[in-house]
Structure 1
Amino acid sequence: MDKEQQRNQAYQEYVKKVTPKHNVILNCLKAFVTGGMICTVGQAILNAGQALGMDTETAAGWCAMLLVLISIIMTAMGWYQPLAKFGGAGTLVPITGFANSVAAPAIEFQKEGQVFGIGCKIFNIAGPVILYGIFTSWVLGVIYWLI
């Protein structure tokens, strides 16, 4: 073996040693439980709203607003990131994950000021989602109109 092959082999062994091993079944279980807990909280809010006499649409609106508020408060308190680290994809339940993706950069860059900090950085993560969501809906609307 020449030195180049020895270095490549040593590097490959190093990569194997430092690469974390993932337990897919455990990660899926954690995501399922975490996402299920978030959805259970949402369902409890929805049921409470209906028990207070709200119609389904009004209760759903309050549920969405409260889930966003809870997500932003948890992000600001530094609690959402450990939850996301534990639950993985389970924390990407659309409304809470999106609220976190908007709030986290705003909180992180607030020291840079209102315009260059919060204003410029708030949509770092969520911006592409909004852009491609709007563009895709426009394209599908055109296709629907043509058909």
Structure 2
Amino acid sequence: MDNLNNKDYQKFVEEKIPKPTYARNIILAFLVGGAICTIGEFIMNYLSNKGLDEEAVSSATSIIMVFLGALLTGLGIYDQIGKFGGAGAAVPITGFANSIVAPAMEFKKEGFIFGVASKMFVIAGPVLVYGVSSSIIVGILTILFQR
């Protein structure tokens, strides 16, 4: 091993690096994301059948899905779902709930103010800032170009 040149070393390293399983990851993301969306559809259909109007159904479904994502994160279940499903668990709204709750739980030992409250928006904060900023820019551009 001491007499390896750069080319031999690169070959050795490439042999040892685990090969990515793209097809498996894509299929699992599709299945997990699809399952989460199917649960959302069941909730929407249930609420719609109870007589809520379309806007109330959409709002209530979002609230329930965020609650479920936060609850499952608090119970340690959503992390397992995320490891299994990858982007299929990260992209839906439940993944957003997970991104808020997980850092808060990680720093709860530091107290409510300096732990939970300050770390709650570590990941979600930039998403909110850029989301709001871009919506303001789009709104201004829409007003300017509609005249």
Q: Deviations over 1:115-134 (max 9, x none)?
A: 11112111111111111111
Q: 2:35 aligns with which of 37, 47, 57?
A: 37
| Alignment partner of 1:135 is 2:140 | no
| Alignment partner of 1:112 is 2:110 | yes
Q: Partners in 2 of 1:96 and 1:15 — Cα distance? A: 37
Name the residue aligned to 1:10: 9
Superposition TM-score, scaled by structure 2 size: 0.88
Unaligned runs of 5+ in 1: none
Number of residue pairs aligned between Structure 1 and Structure 2? 144
Name the residue aligned to 1:101: 99
Q: Partners in 1 of 2:122 and 2:8 — Cα distance? A: 39
Q: 2:143 aligns with which of 101, 125, 145?
A: 145
User: Is the Cα contact below 8 Å between 1:38 and 1:93 reproduced in 2?
Assistant: no
User: Is the Cα contact below 8 Å between 1:106 and 1:122 reproduced in 2?
Assistant: yes
Superposition TM-score, scaled by structure 1 size: 0.88
Name the residue aligned to 1:76: 74
SS of 1:43 mapped into structure 2: helix
Identity fraction in percent: 41
Unaligned runs of 5+ in 2: none
User: Is the Cα contact below 8 Å between 1:98 and 1:126 reproduced in 2?
Assistant: yes
User: Is the Cα contact below 8 Å between 2:37 and 2:92 reproduced in 1?
Assistant: no
Q: Partners in 1 of 2:138 and 2:49 — Cα distance? A: 38
